[in-house]
Chains A and B, each alone.
Chain A
Amino acid sequence: MSAVPATPTLAVWKFASCDGCQLSLLDCEDELLAIAEGIEIAYFPEATSRAVEGPYDVSLVEGSVTTRHDVERIREIREQSRLLVTIGACATSGGIQALRNFADVRKWIPLVYASPEVISTLDTSTPIADHVTVDLELRGCPVSKAQLVETVSALLAGRKPRLPSTSVCTECKARGTPCVMVVHGTPCLGPVTQAGCGAICPAYARGCYGCFGPMESPNVNALARQWRELGVDHAELVRALRTFNVNAPAFREASIAGG
């Protein structure tokens, strides 16, 4: 990536989401003020009333696209942004709210709202990359603080951020966590899930639940066999694949395939 200006500008945008990924930026308590010295925070409404007009050197985008208005808004943001980075599972795959893509959302609205006719929503929840070109994607529900800091630092330095593309298994090995599937027979999505979280769940005696989404070319069929041997029924595997990255192609397709 090419070098960035002396004081690059950063904008943080929100689409349908829980705010947890942009909060992770504010949770970088040790690095936040140093980051703020290296960049100009030009637009970050969750943190500051100050709003500088674009264009921006880097836009961090949280959340998925679920309204017609947001389809337009992400295009405008793309036009104003030199680099556009999606942060988290909602922005990179559509989030938990993409479960609607498997249902008839018109039937869902009355379950939540008494006056459904005034609710404006699309039938689908889609990732940012379905609408505009995305320069870099950060996975996770939520993103990893370490990856966030690495990414912002790398972009400031004009280099490519170092982000793993292996599975969570490699992080368990690095951490010295015994395999929960092998040792405890606990179903785990680690073998098909992209690394980046630091393999937190197995360190807390539970299986990975896939919040970083599928790794590149995951072998979900092999994992499904392994889960069957552990006594997990197909419906449970489908539910496990249908959470925060349900709309990521590898998880979506595996969850549709018959058992």
Chain B
Amino acid sequence: MAETREIRTDYLARVEGEGAMLVRVRNGALEEVQFRIFEPPRFFEALLRGRQFTEAPDITARICGICPIAYMAGAAAAMEQACGVELTEPIRLLRRLIYCGEWIESHVLHVAMLHAPDFLGYDGAVELARDRRDLVELALRLKKAGNELMRVIGGREVHPVNFKVGGFYRASTPAELRALVPELEWAREAALGLLRWTASFDFPDYERDYAFVSLRQPAEYAIERGRIVSSTGLDIPVEEYERHFTESHVERSNALHSTLEGVGAYLVGPLARYANNHEQLSDAAKAAAEEVGLGPVCRNPFKSILVRGVETLYAIEEALRIIASYEPPAPPEVACVPRAATGCGCTEAPRGICWHRYELDEEGFIRDAKIVPPTAQNQKAIEEDLVGVVRGSLDLPDDRLAHVCEQTIRNYDPCISCATHFLRLEVERL
């Protein structure tokens, strides 16, 4: 007679959005794993049709309140490509600077408030603050340093208003940015402290041989532009994405699954960027990575918390570097005249590459839109992680197994709002 056990956790907490997980175990053997996303669909690609190309950054920002700059920057880059314009270097640097702000706030939110509680046995950051108020206060202040970049350059933290196709409505003044320097200098030390703290956690001994996919730039750690590269040898301009990557709609999910031709599941995000581009990190970020025991490649998804810490430090240093030599772009935008064309844009959202394609008519109306967010790309890798983790943990009692599964999903900082949402966790043992 078959052994039947069923475990259900109705809502996976501390992720952005709503989804579900199912683990089915029959006669003590893992039968199936599904990471499901059933955030109600909002049909952005459809509602963009008929809108002006200039509207895409503000509209697509609403896909995600945690990483709006990723959407604004990707949409703007695609429209700029469609219009055939290149940004001036000062505009590009101001974009990179606000993007650094988003990396800092998003990474620190995940590291300290969503992910760290898993390693320490707390329900969340508020509960953690009862015992370690100093650490939570430090993390909140650090997150705020990132948010201040968003607020000063973009006007507000969530859905910044000062960002447009071609550049900005208004260039920040040198004085506005210089005023942020003391706090960013504090943040540099604080980020190192936060990283050292997370390095003291116990990490499950689990590694996988991922295909790492990220952007790459010759001269800097890629954030707001680059070619798409993989650890399996891919190296393509962003407009060739669809020739190599395929999205398929899986019945159980409101998100679309992505695969890389000839490879299958692949990984985007901090581990992928770090594996592909770590040599381009700043000296201090490289030294910090070495200090906490990260080699040139990290294949342990639970240690993504360390890589996020290293990237946070890098983003702070990069912000300081950009501010130090900042010259306000004048004018703050490059004129973009629409034409009948297709444009693609891809940037490194905190959770990994976020790809856009838009087809415009001669008047600049959007005829077709396609957006591939990072969490949708990682969905297969998350499921494969779950398979590996569950196989190694079948002897755990149900509540512990459920916790390890949730933690495995949270390793990805999954943004289910982006991939579409509802987090429910079900473990069925039949």
Contact call A29/B13, Cβ cutoff below 8 A: no
Of A16, A17, A21, A48, which one neighbours B126 at CB under 8 angstroms?
A48
Contact assessment for A29 and B65 in the assembled complex, using a CB-CB cutoff below 8 Å: no
| A49-B47 in contact (CB<8A) | no
Give, as a whole number of angstroms, the nearest-CB distance from B177 to chain A: 15
Task: Judge whether A118 and B251 touch: CB under 8 Å.
Answer: yes
Interchain CB contact under 8 A, B109 and A18: no
- Interface residue stretch chosen among B14-22, B189-197, B279-287, B299-307: B14-22
Q: CB of B242 within 8 A of chain A? A: no
Chain A, residue nearest B126 (CB): A36
Query: B404 contacts the other chain (Cβ, under 8 Å)?
Result: no
- Which residues of chain A come closer than 8 Å to B155, judged between CB atoms? 200-201, 203-204
With contacts A29-B140, A33-B136, A201-B155 taken as known, whether A14 is within 8 angstroms of B62 at the C-beta atoms is: no
Given the known inter-chain contacts A33-B129, A48-B13, A48-B14, please indicate yes or no for A109 contacting B43, CB distance below 8 A. Answer: yes
If A18-B417, A19-B64, A142-B159 touch, whether A45 touches B11 (CB-CB below 8 Å) is yes
CA distance A233 to B156 in the complex (A): 30
Structural contact, A19 and B65, CB atoms closer than 8 A? yes
For the complex, count residues of B whose C-beta is within 8 A of A: 69
Interface window among B91-99, B141-149, B207-215: B141-149
Q: Which of A17, A109, A113: most chain B CB closer than 10 A? A: A113
CA A46 to CA B39, docked complex, whole Å: 14
Cα A33 to Cα B144 in complex, Å, equals 14
Judged by a CB distance under 8 angstroms, whether A53 is at the interface is no
Interface residues on A, range: 35 or more
Tell me which of A23, A49, A67 contacts B65 (CB under 8 A). A23
0/1 interface trace, chain A 116-139, chain B, CB 8 Å (1 if under): 001101000100000000000000
Contact at A19–B17, with CB atoms within 8 Å?
yes
Minimum Cβ distance to chain B for residue A70 (Å)? 7
Any B CB within 8 A of the CB of A206? yes
Whether B161 and A51, one on each chain, are in contact in the complex, defined by CB atoms closer than 8 angstroms, is: no
Q: Judging by beta carbons under 8 Å apart, are A239 and B51 in contact?
A: yes
Q: Which of A30, A36, A112 has the most CB of B within 10 A?
A: A112
Contact A18 B62 (CB under 8 A): yes
Note all chain B residues with C-beta closer than 8 A to A44: 124
Residue A141 CB within 8 A of the other chain: yes
Task: Using known A-B contacts A16-B40, A47-B126, determine if residue A111 contacts B45 with beta carbons closer than 8 Å.
Answer: yes
| Contact A119:B423 (CB < 8 A) given known A66-B42, A204-B155 | no
Q: Report Cα–Cα, A125/B421, bound state, in Å.
A: 16
Contact present for B65 and A33 (CB under 8 Å) = no
Chain A residues whose C-beta falls within 8 Å of the C-beta of B339 in the assembled complex: none
- B-chain residues with CB within 8 Å of residue A99 when the two chains form the complex: 47
Cβ 8 A contact of A27, one of B12, B13, B64, B158: B158
A205 contacts chain B at the CB level, 8 A cutoff:
yes
For B170, list chain A residues within 8 Å (CB): 204-206
B14 touches A17 (CB 8 A): no
Closest to B247 in A: A114
CB distance from B39 to the nearest CB of A (A): 8
B32 at the A interface (CB under 8 A): no
Q: How far is the CB of A42 from chain B (nearest CB, A)?
A: 11
Taking a contact as CB atoms closer than 8 A, the residue among A26, A45, A111 that contacts B423 in the complex is: A45
Chain A residues whose C-beta falls within 8 Å of the C-beta of B64 in the assembled complex? 18-20
Q: Is A97 an interface residue (CB 8 A)?
A: yes
Chain B residues closer than 8 Å to A23, beta-carbon distance: 16, 65-66, 109, 158
For the complex, is A32 an interface residue (Cβ under 8 Å from B)?
yes
Contact call A41/B126, Cβ cutoff below 8 A = yes
Q: Does A96 contact B (CB under 8 A)?
A: yes
In B122-147, the 8 Å CB interface with A consists of 123-127, 129, 133, 136-137, 140-141, 143-144, 147
* Closest residue of A by beta carbon distance from B332: A205
Do A244 and B62 touch (CB < 8 A)?
Answer: yes
Q: Are A142 and B65 in contact (CB under 8 A)?
A: yes
Tell me the nearest residue of chain B to A115, going by C-beta: B249
Q: Contacts A18-B417, A32-B140 known; A26 to B113 CB distance under 8 Å?
A: yes
Instruction: Assess whether A166 is interfacial by the CB under 8 Å rule.
Output: no
Seen from chain B, the residues whose Cβ lies within 8 Å of a Cβ on chain A are 11-18, 39-47, 49, 51-52, 55, 58-59, 62-66, 68, 105, 109, 113-114, 117, 123-127, 129, 133, 136-137, 140-141, 143-144, 147, 155-159, 161-162, 164, 169-170, 248-249, 251-252, 254, 256, 406, 415, 417, 421, 423
25 contacts between A and B (CB under 8 A): A18-B62, A19-B17, A23-B158, A24-B157, A26-B113, A27-B105, A33-B129, A41-B126, A49-B123, A70-B40, A95-B62, A96-B59, A103-B46, A108-B46, A113-B249, A121-B41, A125-B42, A142-B158, A200-B155, A200-B161, A201-B161, A206-B161, A206-B169, A239-B51, A239-B52
Give 5 closest A-B pairs by Cβ, nearest first: A20-B65, A48-B124, A108-B46, A50-B123, A114-B249
